[in-house]
Amino acid sequence: MSGDTNNDTPMMRQYARLKEQHRDAVLFFRLGDFYEMFRSDAVEASRILGLTLTQRGGVPMCGIPHHASGSYIARLIHAGKKVAICEQTKLPAGGGLAEREVVNVVTPGTLVEEDLLERSSNNYLLSIAAGSTEMSLVYTDLSTGELAGTVYPLEGAPLHLRAELTRLRPREVLVQESLLSDYPRIKAVLTESDRLLNSYPDWNYNLSESRKSLERVLGVVSLKGFGIADDSLLPLACGVLIEYLRDTSGSDLSHIRSLQQYSRQDHVQLDDATLRNLELLTNMHDGTSNYTLRRTLDFCRTSMGSRMLARWIGAPSTDMALVADRQENITRLYHNQMLLSSLREELGRVLDLERLASRVAMERAHPKDLVAIAASLEGILRLQELSSEYLGESSLPIRSSEEMEQISSMASHLRGALLDEPSVTIHEGGIFRDGFDPELDSLRGLSRDGARYLEEYLERERSVTGVSSLKIKHNRVLGYYLETTKSGAGSVPDHFIRRQSLSNAERFTTEELAGLEEGITGAEEGSNERERALFITIRDRCVPAIPLFLACADRTARLDCLASLALAATRNGYVRPELIEEPVLEIRAGRHPVVERHSADGSFVPNDLVLGGKSPLFRLVTGPNMAGKSTFLRQTALIVLMAQMGSFVPAEAARIGLVDRVFCRVGAQDNLARGESTFLVEMSETAAILRNAGPQSLVIMDEVGRGTGTTDGLAIATAVTEYLLETIGARTLFATHFHELTAMQAPQLGNLSLEVAETGGELIFRKRVVEGPSEQSYGVHVAALAGIPAAVVRRAEELLDQAHAELADGESTTANHASMSAGSSAKTGRPGTTSARSRTTELFSNEELLVNEITSISVENLTPLEALTKIAEWQKRLRG
């Protein structure tokens, strides 16, 4: 092919034409046994894949063997690239240019390839579009056929979008161009991480066209059946989405059977900060699922179950009936451990029916997939048998006798047809059982008989020639041939035609042998072809059952989640919480589900909490650092969210009034990555709470105001507290290090603190929550624990005493103040800096100060002259 890469060759013109249509993808150009990449694709791919870049005719290129393409594609996708796969669709008889076509485009958000997908996670593609006042947000997982969407006001869209991005973690987003150009905050949210973003000009977004295209995919004449009103904006984001799915996958999307419309009110609203702070699905440390609620609760046996459980955790429900139903069925499993363990055993035999069924719909299922479907259907039948007496209908995988009939006949049809271990490809036979198809049997008979005919023929030739060393062998070049030793070759008859002479053997063919060979290979080819055709038929027979498969898959996933939660309750000692509508929260001996799992047995200290009812709705929580405040705050939110998933909770008893939103603002930690000031982020998140929280919400705030100076911080924390108490009235836990706040008084305000004991100058954190404010901040003690030099700690203690003395003086004038205002107490907190400086020399010896100064010098920033001057100065000070 040398010279072919020249721009003007027919092949490069063909390449240029294909590349033109797939400018945003790396084009894998099939050339014989290789996929070649050219020009900028080659430069980029060679960098990502570590391939050697070569030049032909001045064109940079690199290539990979076609049979090993999977892992290379995976790495490009992982790097956020799209890959367009171009195959040779026709080889011209007399040489010349092959016809080539892009057969599919692999993109991060539309993966269906088993080995590129994560088993226990959904792989979402998100599409967003805007009307005049609202936004349409739709997402899909092509590998499972899930399609869901919602409409929400444009006002506040960035926050909502950010929460959905955190919850769904889409790999790719389709967005209307004007959303990026006209709404900088939406653009900022979308470009925060490096997920693949595809923007489309506004003329692609036409509501009635989108609606029609959606109706066609779903096979309906109206969307009313999905609860989507005629004037709903929801379909707007679907048009582009559907077109994109079709273009990239080349499939007709027949496995996408419904659009699930959800509204924000259906589940507990969790903003982006809350989702991350509570470490529900991923941790803040490395973004994996280690040390998360998900990891603690996921005992699912199927990947469908794990995926569903992640969806439940990311969106606990606000629907009392739904939560109560899950809870009831978990309780039944919890009380029937025998059933629970046999269900789990059976669930272990169900494979990923969701993705298997989707592969059937996309004509990608191979013979092993159909056997996996049969095994899963059998598993589902056994699950039904095991659970139908004990569980409510909502938790059973099969809902009617017709369904049962259909599933068992499908399962036995597939089982009866397919070998237990069929081949993975459809071209080489080895798919069907004997006896399934008479025509296949007779073709197989012919090729098997062929072997017998060969034996008989060999016997005849041996007796005719008297050469007992005569053998029949086969290789790819000669096909079947007769072989003798050199010595036997002398006595072969005339009808033997010499094909090959080797040093120790001679090879022949005969007319009869050639005839036999034709019969044998013909029968083999015929039987392979027959198997292929039969397979396509049997796969097509599955197609009408896909909606049923997907429904059963969904229900099985649900059963798996319930079993997983029942097992988590059993293993971790959770109780069934009582759910009520009133805004009350009562937790007896609550624990943090994740921290306790990673603490030594029995070392986690449980704590009580009552908010609402006869107790204050709002609790300030004080205590030194490391006392256990954050853990207590977070465990409260987690217990509530677990309860609203339907799960049991880590406590001795719990009464939980359903919440509509949970806000969890904890410190200011990982926002620097976004390039915003921590304080600004802290304040905008606080603003979101104050604007969106209501009387049914749960607010968890930890250290608000820490991002700024003491005076400002205290003022802000006080004002926020006032507003939450007076205007919002949400159940609130507010941890603070501003002790001045604990003096505030209001009917719904109470103080809690974490108990700390001091023995022999050492602090012991008991991790126990007690009524009333904490005595002091103990910050200095913690500093000592952390290894701050003794001299510094001593000095800090002095300053603290001084500050307390000043505070006591000040308090005589402010003690009876209604304490709702921050100003007066805030002024008292800080010791005078002048006095601090003047006392330094008394506390630290000259030597101590010198050593300190020397060790803190950064030598690399010192000029030689400065160094000399320093030394002179020190000498002077030491000499007195």
Residues engaged in binding ligand ADP (CB under 6 A): 595, 599, 603-605, 623, 625-631, 767
Helix crossing, 320-335 with 337-347: angle to 10°?
100
**Residue 653 vs 782, nearer CB to ligand ADP:** 782
Q: Given phi > 0 = left and psi -120 to 50 = alpha, else beta, which region is 772?
A: left
**Residue 113 vs 755, nearer CB to ligand ADP:** 755
Where are the extended beta strands (E) located within 219-323? 260-261, 269-270
d(CA 515, CA 703): 89
**Residue 191 vs 599, nearer CB to ligand ADP:** 599
**Residue 625 vs 821, nearer CB to ligand ADP:** 625
Query: Which has the closest alpha carbon to 661: 748, 607, 728, 586?
Result: 728
**Residue 63 vs 707, nearer CB to ligand ADP:** 707
What's the closest the beta carbon of residue 768 comes to ligand ADP, in angstroms?
8
d(CA 298, CA 276): 18
Q: What are phi and psi of 837, to 5 degrees?
A: -65, -40
d(CA 602, CA 629): 19
**Residue 283 vs 341, nearer CB to ligand ADP:** 283
What's the closest the beta carbon of residue 632 comes to ligand ADP, in angstroms?
6
Where are the extended beta strands (E) located within 275-351? none
What's the closest the beta carbon of residue 599 comes to ligand ADP, in angstroms?
6
Task: Assess contact for 738 and 717: CB atoms under 8 A.
Answer: yes
DSSP sequence for 644-682: HHT--BSSSEEEEE--SEEEEEE-S-TTGGGT--HHHHH
Where are the extended beta strands (E) located within 676-759? 698-702, 731-735, 749-759
Task: Assess contact for 298 and 564: CB atoms under 8 A.
Answer: yes
Q: What are phi and psi of 113, to 5 degrees?
A: -70, 125
Q: Given phi > 0 = left and psi -120 to 50 = alpha, else beta, which region is 642?
A: alpha
**Residue 558 vs 767, nearer CB to ligand ADP:** 767
Distance of CA 499 to the CA centre of its chain: 62
**Residue 72 vs 632, nearer CB to ligand ADP:** 632
What's the closest the beta carbon of residue 619 comes to ligand ADP, in angstroms?
15
Place of tokens 């004449």: 221
**Residue 237 vs 280, nearer CB to ligand ADP:** 280
**Residue 502 vs 600, nearer CB to ligand ADP:** 600
What's the closest the beta carbon of residue 637 comes to ligand ADP, in angstroms?
13
**Residue 465 vs 625, nearer CB to ligand ADP:** 625
What's the closest the beta carbon of residue 275 comes to ligand ADP, in angstroms?
19
Query: Which has the closest alpha carbon to 629: 473, 464, 753?
Result: 753
What's the closest the beta carbon of residue 826 comes to ligand ADP, in angstroms?
22
Angle at 300 between CA 591 and CA 604, to 5 degrees: 15
What's the closest the beta carbon of residue 629 comes to ligand ADP, in angstroms?
3
Query: Which has the closest alpha carbon to 395: 623, 176, 518, 560?
Result: 560
Q: Given phi > 0 = left and psi -120 to 50 = alpha, else beta, which region is 636?
A: alpha
What's the closest the beta carbon of residue 628 comes to ligand ADP, in angstroms?
3
What's the closest the beta carbon of residue 778 comes to ligand ADP, in angstroms?
10
